[in-house]
Chains A and B, each alone.
Chain A
Amino acid sequence: MKAPSFAYARPGTLAEAFDLLERHGEGARILAGGQSLIPSLNMRLSSPELLVDITGLAGLSGIESFSKGLRIGALVTHAQIEKSPDVRKHAPLLAQAAPHIAHPAIRNRGTLGGSLALADPAAEYPACAVALDATLVIAGKKGERRVKAGAFFKGLFETDLRPAEILTAAEFPPADKAVFVELARRHGDYAIIGLAGTQVASRKRFVFLGAGATPILAGNASKASSLAEARQALGEDLDPPADLYHSSGTKLHLARVLLERAWNTL
């Protein structure tokens, strides 16, 4: 199908973008890589009055290491994350996760910021951000604010972003060890279930995607001292909703399979 009619603007500065977003309110949508927004327009699942294309904004496309980890601009694409030596060195969890996102032609356009701001429950980066305890940098007319990933994802496609705000970057602290595993029917398809795992000193964090409305931190499994204990505890952490093909029980079973793989890797 074809997208409905909309207006399009490509602001050159954040200030211009905030003005457009403020002026058009709910009728405006932010366009970054467009790999989720444009299909939803083509299928007429959404019909904005105005697309505010933020890809012309300066300063949102960098990957830089700093004292507290790695800062990645919102407009950095999945392909750039996949290929970046800095990401491999300072945030290997993201380098492991990126190849699972869709397919090469989509990874060339889709962005980190877009994925985080959309907050698809089956997406890879939100789970990685929670597992790494990332800080999301949000800009608005009144200035910049920072939100921990754990508090950013509030519900199904629902985040802490307020009207006329733009997610500009994410900061990922280092982890001693990291592992990303995912199960999908076909490479690049939406995950049936996935797991981002990190270890800092002796503290493990297991965060599941595709297991609920938001990334789910498996608190009990993360605290377990043995794999058997963790597998058992996962039943208290997860109550995954069934999808078209997999019952809740199947998903919990698959989550335990991934937990075992991750545990043995960390």
Chain B
Amino acid sequence: MEHALDTTMTVNGSPVRRRIPARQHLVDFLREELGLTGSHIGCEHGVCGACTVRVDGDIVRGCLMLAVQANGCKVDTIEGLSDSGELEALQKAFHEKNALQCGFCTPGMLMAAQDLVVQKRRCSREEIKRHISGNYCRCTGYQAIVDAIEQVLNGQS
């Protein structure tokens, strides 16, 4: 049986073809093979959310998906969304609201928050908290993060 598989995916708009060990999870592949170190590895068992990336438009845990499972998929990381300008409003709000300190959780937090922004609806603080409940931040105490997301979603300052 195959322990490594030829895998094709589109990462941040560019086609990628590699032979990938079955045991390698997606975020390790992105970081180690493609040098996309913006997606962070925290707990590596699906609890902390630092590795959040987008696969075919949906956010997923990069540590809970094997890279070979992304065969044929469109993968977007913090680098892609940042370079394209998609995250501009959130990044500005995070800066203004002091929504990061050490920054380790920030890429995952932005990916999770953007998932709410693309739904284009107004959200209560409770809904925002529920949406980012799977993303740990050990610095801010979350209030500033919720402030920043609220500002972008609801246009409040």
Contacts and interface: CB of A to CB of B under 8 A. Distances in A.
Given A6-B3, A39-B45, A105 B21 contact: no
Contact of A188 (B1, B44, B133): B133
B22 interface: yes
B78 to A, nearest CB: 14
Interface stretch (A50-58, A146-154, A158-166, A230-238): A50-58
A39 B3 CA distance: 19
Interface residues of B, number: 33
Nearest to B57: A108
A109 B64 contact: yes
B27 to A, nearest CB: 11
DSSP class of B's interface residues: helix, strand, loop or mixed? mixed
Given A3-B25, A6-B3, A108 B134 contact: no
B144 interface: no
Interface string A83-111: 00000000000000001001111101100
B1 A106 contact: no
B45 A6 contact: no
Contacts of B24: 2
B60 A105 contact: yes
A232 to B, nearest CB: 34
A5 B21 contact: yes
A200 interface: no
A45 B45 CA distance: 12
A9 B3 CA distance: 9
A187 B131 CA distance: 9
Interface residues of A, number: 35
B66 interface: yes
Contact of B22 (A6, A35, A106, A187): A6
Interface string A27-51: 0000100110011011100000111
A151 B5 CA distance: 39
A186 to B, nearest CB: 6
Contact of B63 (A8, A42, A187): A42
A2 B5 contact: no
B112 A104 contact: yes
B65 A34 contact: yes
A109 B58 CA distance: 9
Given A34-B64, A105-B49, 7 more contacts: A7-B3, A8-B5, A38-B46, A39-B64, A108-B58, A109-B61, A109-B65
16 contacts: A2-B25, A6-B22, A7-B22, A9-B1, A34-B64, A35-B64, A38-B46, A38-B63, A39-B64, A42-B45, A42-B63, A103-B49, A103-B133, A104-B112, A105-B134, A188-B134
Interface of B: 1-3, 5, 21-25, 28, 44-46, 49, 52, 58-61, 63-66, 68-69, 112, 115, 129-131, 133-135
